[in-house]
Structure 1
Amino acid sequence: MYFLKPNLTFQTYSSTKNFPTDWDLIASNNIFLSQDYLSILEKSAPINMVCFFIGIFEKEKLVGVSLAQYINLTNVNSLGDRDHCFKTMLKNFIFKRLISNVLIIGNNMLTGQNCYQFSSQIKVTDGILALNEAAKELKIQLRKQNHKIHLTVFKDFLKTKANLFETPNFKSYYRFNTQPNMVFPIKDSWHTIDDYISDLTKKYRDQYKRARKKADAITKRKLPLSEIEKYHKQINQLYLNVAQNAPFNTFYLAENHFEEFKSTLKDNFLFYGYFIDEELIGFNTLIKNHEDIDTYFLGYDEKHQRNKMLYLNMLYDMIGYSINKKYKRIIFARTALEIKSSVGAKPIEMIGLIKHENYFLNQLMAKSFAYFEPKIAWQERNPFQ
């Protein structure tokens, strides 16, 4: 137990089995801080990731919960497989030697504010300061294990929460903006997918019809745990087809990741397979998070993706499901910004904070961050005008 201001302490945990009994009571508004979800990370986190869990206490009463992740980028081709030019190889060389050991306060596997949940008994600013102290302690623990942290990151906060970090404790951090979180708000007037389609302009109704026609030969079904296990090899290959072509990677999922998800979260985790003649050609996953549906990882065969407009059809399927089930929002996350925009998702700007442990390198953070952050040019669409 580590002491902060009077009556406020924090405790770090390496296993969910040691959680206080009221952990889920504090985390009740966000499945991504629940004991069930965090136990999945404990059992099937990426091979280069170690998860830590943080409890904040006031007079021995749990008042806040959070997640931290140590990521070792040494053995990950973080800048993707698509570009093998000298500039990319140079970036990878620098990346792995100067910024490969990263401590993230938050969840690097998700998009959005999934860093913490605090009870009303403490101020959010006090909770944030406690997390900063917890980060310092975790860096000491990791150093004892011969893991010297290069970068500390506080990940994914709404711009409206930027004032939480306007304290001397965060003066040395560089505040950055990454790609926006694409969020799809569901109108109260939509009761079926037909209501959504009728609100589209002609151009985007035609896009919907064209995509659906392309997918005539595809059958889609929700897979239970037994089928996720059955198609284990195909699922991992389809996932890697997408992940290895991403412009930036910090991890690859463990091979048992989806099985652990389904086994633990059960009906709160949905896995949809897309088939042609019983051949699995793609999949997507969804997580129920109270009034939100969060899209998770997906995979597809690139040939069928191009010929069948598979990714776009997946987006329409997610929209149809979420409307039918009366959800309020779909969290589409980052990547593929323009196509998500074309179905109605809106960009929500997020901020993060980052600091290099070397003082002189930290002074260059603004320039170096711009050098490594992939540049994504895209045009926002509005399919309802």
Structure 2
Amino acid sequence: MENLSFKIVTKTADLPSNWDEVAAQNHFLQTPYLQVLEQSAPTNMHCFYIAIFKNSTLIGVALAQYLNVHQLDSFGERDKCLKTALRNFIFKNFASHVLFLGNNMITGQNSYAFSIPIDLASVSEILVQSSQALVTYFKEKKVNIHLVSFKDFYEHCSVELKKHHFSTLYEFNTQPNMIFNLPASWKTESDYVAAFSKKYRDQFKRAHKKIEGVEVRELDVNEVIHYEEAIYKLYHYVAQNAPFNTFFLAKNHFSTFKKQCGSRFRICGYFFEGRLVGFHSLLLNDNVLETYFLGYDETIQKEKMLYLNMLYNMTKFGIEHGFEKIIFGRTALEIKSSIGATPVQMSGFIYHTNAIVNKLIPKLFKRLEPETAWQQRHPFK
């Protein structure tokens, strides 16, 4: 496509007036969400907004994020082994300044949107040019970007992107995105449970029996503000015990999100003996329900099977509100498959700005990527 250009914006106040019209199909590229990132992004993250024009008309929008991984005290403390220590050393010293074209905080193809049909050759060109412009921007600020990553593309897109300006980039596949495509015939939770085989129907009943005594309710904005410290503590426990992290949310993230996005962002609290012991959060993105961050008290989690019940509750919400699918993300693959989600492979593309290191990326990436052995479950009749 000819006559394409782009402009990189650093503040949402400076976005073109019709930005949200172009981003209409993806709430995670619209101003309310971008303002959440602007006001409560992780402390080691800075966001950039890319306006794409054909002649002088805005036709596309994209998101980029810079992460200074060196600012993190911990990348995740679950795994204690030599490989993890080596990985952390390399990230600190050779990959601490990372530029993402896309959204590193959520899973899925959320990096760009266009208001008109556009070929992937043009998409790949604009994204690569944008990344180069941002690398130059940081160089002028005496910051050398180490890694540039183009995040999360479904297979049909990645195949086409490789034919064009992504052809020299290293394609990587991390853990799959767990997605639950909800049958249109399901209208209630009972329809969902009826579809289980006996083994998984028994699992559902056992989990619901375990959670007795726990009050589950959606939190309004005032409650989110009231419980903010407790919510963050629960989130941080889970995040810190993940195998790998490149950021930690700001403490005001959940309240900011609720204030900005209202009913598009839902937080559900789990209370036991009057105390908040867990929460899950959901993002309503058109006909797709996206699971967001959650947290729990580990001492209660095991006894009450909180995590499994959260998965069931999020699925129930998706069914009863008529969503076509639920994006469950890349963690806890086996348990998510046990409630009905299936793995969908997504690709990313990456390069190192140091030409010598870039040649080693294929070998380094395979050695450093955390491995997860899991067995897919098939819960339905």
TM-score norm. by structure 2 comes to 0.97
Equivalent-residue separation in structure 2 for 1:151 and 1:78 (angstroms): 19
**Does the alignment pair 1:33 with 2:29?**
yes
Q: Letter of the aligned partner of 1:361 in structure 2?
A: V
Query: Could you say what secondary structure the match of 1:42 adopts?
Result: helix
Q: Letter of the aligned partner of 1:76 in structure 2?
A: L
Contact 1:179 / 1:334 at 8 angstroms: preserved in 2? yes
**Are the structure 2 counterparts of residues 204 and 17 from structure 1 closer, same or farther at C-alpha, using a change threshold of 3 Å?**
same
Identify the match of residue 161 of structure 2 among 158, 165, 169: 165
Which sits farther off after the overlay, 126-135 or 203-212? 126-135
- CA RMSD in angstroms, aligned pairs only: 1.3
Q: Letter of the aligned partner of 1:36 in structure 2?
A: P
Contact 2:197 / 2:379 at 8 angstroms: preserved in 1? yes
Q: How many residues align?
A: 381
**Does the alignment pair 1:179 with 2:171?**
no
**Does the alignment pair 1:228 with 2:224?**
yes
What is the CA deviation profile of residues 23-79 of structure 1, one whole-angstrom value per residue up to 9, with x for unaligned ones? 111110110111111111011110000000001101110011000000011122554
**Does the alignment pair 1:352 with 2:355?**
no
Give the aligned partner of residue 185 of structure 2: 189
What is the CA deviation profile of residues 203-262 of structure 1, one whole-angstrom value per residue up to 9, with x for unaligned ones? 000000000000001001111111111111111110011000000100000001001100
Equivalent-residue separation in structure 2 for 1:90 and 1:148 (angstroms): 22
Q: Letter of the aligned partner of 1:346 in structure 2?
A: T
**Does the alignment pair 1:114 with 2:110?**
yes
Give the aligned partner of residue 314 of structure 1: 310
Equivalent-residue separation in structure 1 for 2:90 and 2:292 (angstroms): 30
Identify the match of residue 263 of structure 1 among 256, 259, 266: 259
What is the CA deviation profile of residues 66-114 of structure 1, one whole-angstrom value per residue up to 9, with x for unaligned ones? 0000001112255411344444333222211101110000000010100
Equivalent-residue separation in structure 1 for 2:130 and 2:325 (angstroms): 32
Equivalent-residue separation in structure 2 for 1:169 and 1:37 (angstroms): 29
Contact 1:63 / 1:122 at 8 angstroms: preserved in 2? no
Identify the match of residue 61 of structure 1 among 32, 54, 57: 57
Matches within 5 A, 1:58-207: 58-77=54-73, 79-167=75-163, 169-207=165-203
Equivalent-residue separation in structure 2 for 1:195 and 1:121 (angstroms): 38
Which sits farther off after the overlay, 351-360 or 165-174? 165-174
**Does the alignment pair 1:251 with 2:247?**
yes
Give the aligned partner of residue 384 of structure 1: 380
**Are the structure 2 counterparts of residues 86 and 121 from structure 1 closer, same or farther at C-alpha, using a change threshold of 3 Å?**
closer
Identify the match of residue 216 of structure 1 among 212, 218, 233: 212
Q: Letter of the aligned partner of 1:19 in structure 2?
A: L
Query: Could you say what secondary structure the match of 1:240 adopts?
Result: helix
Contact 2:234 / 2:296 at 8 angstroms: preserved in 1? yes
Give the aligned partner of residue 45 of structure 1: 41
What is the CA deviation profile of residues 338-382 of structure 1, one whole-angstrom value per residue up to 9, with x for unaligned ones? 000000001111000010111111111111001111000111111
Query: Could you say what secondary structure the match of 2:269 adopts?
Result: strand
Equivalent-residue separation in structure 2 for 1:340 and 1:348 (angstroms): 13
Q: Letter of the aligned partner of 2:158 in structure 1?
A: A
Give the aligned partner of residue 13 of structure 1: 9
Give the aligned partner of residue 291 of structure 1: 287
Query: Could you say what secondary structure the match of 1:120 adopts?
Result: coil
Q: 1:125: how far off?
A: 2.2
Equivalent-residue separation in structure 1 for 2:125 and 2:160 (angstroms): 9
Q: Letter of the aligned partner of 1:12 in structure 2?
A: I
Q: 1:181: how far off?
A: 0.8
Contact 2:121 / 2:164 at 8 angstroms: preserved in 1? no
Contact 1:79 / 1:248 at 8 angstroms: preserved in 2? yes
Q: 1:146: how far off?
A: 1.9
Q: 1:326: how far off?
A: 1.0
Equivalent-residue separation in structure 1 for 2:80 and 2:318 (angstroms): 40
Contact 2:83 / 2:368 at 8 angstroms: preserved in 1? no
Contact 1:238 / 1:281 at 8 angstroms: preserved in 2? yes
**Are the structure 2 counterparts of residues 87 and 376 from structure 1 closer, same or farther at C-alpha, using a change threshold of 3 Å?**
closer
Query: Could you say what secondary structure the match of 1:50 adopts?
Result: strand
TM-score norm. by structure 1 comes to 0.96
**Are the structure 2 counterparts of residues 337 and 118 from structure 1 closer, same or farther at C-alpha, using a change threshold of 3 Å?**
same
**Are the structure 2 counterparts of residues 94 and 79 from structure 1 closer, same or farther at C-alpha, using a change threshold of 3 Å?**
same
What is the CA deviation profile of residues 299-323 of structure 1, one whole-angstrom value per residue up to 9, with x for unaligned ones? 0001111111100000111111111
Query: Could you say what secondary structure the match of 2:328 adopts?
Result: strand
Q: Letter of the aligned partner of 2:270 in structure 1?
A: Y
Contact 2:177 / 2:344 at 8 angstroms: preserved in 1? yes
Contact 1:77 / 1:249 at 8 angstroms: preserved in 2? no
Q: 1:127: how far off?
A: 2.5
Contact 1:118 / 1:124 at 8 angstroms: preserved in 2? no
The share of aligned pairs that are identical, in percent, is 48
In structure 1, runs of 5+ residues without a counterpart are none
In structure 2, runs of 5+ residues without a counterpart are none
Equivalent-residue separation in structure 2 for 1:106 and 1:262 (angstroms): 22
**Are the structure 2 counterparts of residues 158 and 130 from structure 1 closer, same or farther at C-alpha, using a change threshold of 3 Å?**
same
Which sits farther off after the overlay, 122-131 or 181-190? 122-131
